[in-house]
Amino acid sequence: MELVERIGPLGALERMLTRTATGQGGVTLVTGGMATGKTELLREFTGNAARSGTLVLSATGSRAEQSLQLGVMCQILHGPAFPDLPVPSLSTVDAIRWDEVDPDPAVVGPHDAPVTREMCGALLAAAKHHTVVVWIDDIQFVDSATLRVLLYLRRRMTNAPVMLILSGWAQRRQTWPSFRAEITRQPHEHIKLEPLSLDGVGELITERLDGPAATRLNPGCHQLSGGNPLLVNALLEDVAGRELEPGAAYGQAVLTSLHRAGPQLHAVASAVALLGEHVTPALIGQLVGQAPDEALDFLNCAGVFDQLTFRHPVAATAVLDSIPPDDRAQMHLTAAKLLHQKGVGALEIARHLVAADSAEGDWAVALLCEAAERALADDDVDWAGQCLRLALRDCHDSRRDEIAKSLARVEWRVNPAAAAMHMAPLMNGKPVGRDAIMVARHALWQGDKRAAIAAFSAVTDVQAADELRLVYEWQYGSQEGLPAKEGSSTPWVQVGSKLSGLMIKGRTADVAASAEHILQSCHLADTTLEIVVSAIIALCYADKSDKAAFWCDTLFEEADRSNATTWQAVLCAARADVALRQGDLAMAETQANTALQLLPADGWGVLIGLPRATLLLAYTGMGRTEAAGEVLRQFVPDRMFETVMGLRFMHARGHYYLATDRALAALDDFQTCDRQMREWNIDVPALVPAHSDLAQAYLRLDQRKVARELVSRQLDRPRAISSRTRGTALRVLAATSELRQRPQLLMEALEDLHNCGDRLELARALIDLSEAHQELGEFSRARMHARRAAAEAKACRAEPLTRMLSHGGSFEPKSS
């Protein structure tokens, strides 16, 4: 590899060698930061020297062998390059009683003097026939006995052709200051290698990449490497698509540098990575138990640091990951205590406690609770949960119940099933106030009607009580069974009562306006989620599916920003229902599946009927009956069938049975829906068009008269049904009517279905109209309506309708 910005130092070494060859021995120190190219420079120099006839003797210090006395000298004297001259044997070296030898390399004692003399003599004897270069790399890791021999040689080589090169790190504090003082006391040369400049880095990059790429990447590489060639080369390994993206190679290069530097520097780097933005030299010293100044200088010089920070987060992450888990946990715990003493914010300290998986002491538990509150204020639900779970685990006093309650509220946003695990303190005794609200919501979610009603009497907050009443009504269709209401409703609940009119008596007047008032005024929260969704679905009932879709998408973005998985899942389920009512089967399937993926099945409670019913109808409409059958095989709670969601599910299941030619099973589901809606006093066709459903089942059983009576009964209440429900009913009525009457009824159905935006029902009505014109001999009109039906069916992804049209087959009324 071509040397970059090292030509000057190479020339200086060659000039010194020329002078040495004249019999003027000398010492050359080559120092620099870690991985700044010292070794590469000296390999180039010694290679050239060896080729010119110089005897090159080299050895390398090692941290692992630093306690092995004379180990480096033995590398030289017993190495393959040393001439055939007498040298002390390894057994002689091992026989020395090193524990009685003064460790100071500047002191020669009686125990090691003989071997020191012999080794020095062997080197000088070699110099009688050759110019000798003795190169010791990583001098900072060389054993003290070898240093003693080198000093002994230094004092005797002035008139010998010996060039002693000592290369190592530039250090503020030397391992053996007496060695440095002695070796530099006489004239010597010192070559200090600086990090590569911006141009030098560019030159190194050009060896690997083309000119334009090198020019573009040069500034970033220089900044991230600090001019360290090792780090530059690692960055180039990580280059992806000609872009600079520090990754595994860069992180590993930093780790390699730290491991070479030793445990003390690694400890300081670990402390910096762990402390992050709160790092100070004082905190580092307290964390690692040593003054960090020299280590920080070294790491800055090596290009790993820029002042007190890593040059890229990848490096910090790599260092943290390299710390053994137990050691890392202890460091985090110590850091938490130190930062607590300094008065750092709760969120920052909590991150260390959670990373340490320990909350020792009352201060830690209190701090985690405070951090959870702040995290919730920032909508960081996941982090709030982590803090509270650790606080609950390590708390052993009276605060446990309060922490469990807080955790239940937090978990609710992510998974109500997980929240149930912490509900015991709320369920025990008689909850009041905020606790009663939580119990009531939990009971409603699980379909525990008795527990919900019991909790209502303890709710003291007027608006919260009114909100819960609306949730109860949305779930059960009415407020029957709730304690009598005292006092006036809050203003927004008075608006919401118009929605309840839709559920109880089927009134549609002002429903859309009331729903939009709620959606515009109601802040999305745990206590308002179901109310918001009921307002969205009410817009659909009022033939405002486009507005319903808009509100779903808008509120989902808000839920996403709040990191509230439960909110996102329920809003996805609502969006799926809206898409189904628009005839967009693909969107309905996608959104329903997304909802079910966001929240596990046991987290839905009785609300699981909403996405499952939508998914069942979507699969059925797309002709994917096997997938629909799989939906039916999945578990749903029995209590679901006591709620409005259960009615929706039975309605969907009935249409699946119709599509798979099980008319009697469908009839049973539709009759159950009809009976329950009458018993609950919520006979609302917009919710479940029970009479139209029954009529379709009776048509399959060739009971046309019964079907006609049922659908006519539904149409006799024009104010109680939406355009979508009326259009579907007219289509079914046409199927029970004489051929001459069908086109007029179907034209009316088309108008209603066009107004409500349901393209699937529109396609079905167009097919019926085409067939009616076909039977009447009006072939041109039949073809026109068939073409339009084909376009609508294709847009809906309604494969059964598309196949039927392509084969010219007959069609009987299907699901709505």
Task: Please give the full DSSP string across 498-536, using - where no structure is assigned.
Answer: HHHHHHHH---TTHHHHHHHHHHHPPP-TTTHHHHHHHH
Query: What are the φ/ψ torsions at residue 116 (nearest 5 degrees)?
Result: -65, -45
Q: Which of 148, 160, 139 is nearest to 119 (CA)?
A: 148
Q: Is residue 58 part of a domain?
A: yes
Tokens encoding 325 = 């888990």
Q: Is residue 733 part of a domain?
A: yes
Number of folded domains that form the chain = 2
Q: Which three-class secondary structure string do you get for 281-310?
A: HHHHHHHHCCCCHHHHHHHHHCCCEECCEE
Per-residue pLDDT, 768: 95
Question: What CATH number has the domain bearing residue 728?
Answer: 1.25.40.10
Antiparallel, parallel or unpaired: β 26-32 and 189-193: parallel
Q: Is residue 528 part of a domain?
A: no
Q: Is residue 299 part of a domain?
A: no
Q: Three-state SS for 134? A: strand
Q: Is residue 744 part of a domain?
A: yes
Q: In the predicted model, is pLDDT for residue 2 greater than 80?
A: no
For residue 458, name the pLDDT band (cuts at 50, 70, 90). Answer: confident
Per-residue pLDDT, 784: 95
Q: Which among 144, 166, 194 is the end of a domain?
A: 194
Q: In whole angstroms, what is the distance from residue 302 CA to residue 35 CA?
A: 7
- Are 329 and 358 in contact, with CB atoms under 8 Å apart? yes
Q: Is residue 86 part of a domain?
A: yes
Which amino acid, 486? E
What's CA 518's distance to the chain center, in Å? 34
Range of the domain at 61: 7-194
Q: In whole angstroms, what is the distance from residue 713 CA to residue 616 CA?
A: 27
Per-residue pLDDT, 517: 82
Q: Which among 169, 194, 219 is the end of a domain?
A: 194
Q: Is residue 411 part of a domain?
A: no
Q: Three-state SS for 411? A: helix
- Are 651 and 693 in contact, with CB atoms under 8 Å apart? yes
Nearest 10 degrees: Cα torsion 732, 734, 738, 743: -160
Report angle CA 639, 643, 644 to the nearest 5 degrees.
150
For residue 282, name the pLDDT band (cuts at 50, 70, 90). Answer: very high
Q: Write b or e for each residue in 175-214: b if 16 or more Cβ atoms lie within 10 A of its Cβ, otherwise e.
A: bbeebbebbeeeeebebebebbeeebbbbbbbeebeeebb
- Of 101-105, 171-175, 350-354, 369-373, least confident by mean pLDDT is 171-175
Q: In the predicted model, is pLDDT for residue 810 greater than 50?
A: no
For residue 88, name the pLDDT band (cuts at 50, 70, 90). Answer: very high
Q: Three-state SS for 30? A: strand
Q: Write b or e for each residue in 434-473: b if 16 or more Cβ atoms lie within 10 A of its Cβ, otherwise e.
A: ebbbbbbbbbbbbbbbeebbbbbebbeeeebbbbbbbbbb
- What is the average pLDDT value for the chain, to the nearest integer? 89
Q: Three-state SS for 156? A: coil
Antiparallel, parallel or unpaired: β 132-137 and 162-169: parallel
Q: Which of 709, 580, 748 is nearest to 651 (CA)?
A: 580
For residue 73, what is the enclosing H or E element? helix 71-77
Q: Three-state SS for 56? A: strand
Per-residue pLDDT, 495: 58
Q: In the predicted model, is pLDDT for residue 302 greater than 90?
A: no
Per-residue pLDDT, 489: 60
Tokens encoding 648 = 């929706």
pTM, entire model: 0.73
Q: Which of 399, 401, 387, 317 is nearest to 356 (CA)?
A: 387
Per-residue pLDDT, 174: 61
Q: Is residue 116 part of a domain?
A: yes
H-state helical runs in 397-510: 400-414, 416-420, 424-427, 433-446, 449-456, 462-476, 491-505
What does the pLDDT average to over 589-612? 95
What does the pLDDT average to over 703-730? 86
- Of 187-201, 248-262, 297-311, 519-533, least confident by mean pLDDT is 519-533
Q: In whole angstroms, what is the distance from residue 391 CA to residue 360 CA?
A: 9
Q: Which among 164, 194, 224 is the end of a domain?
A: 194
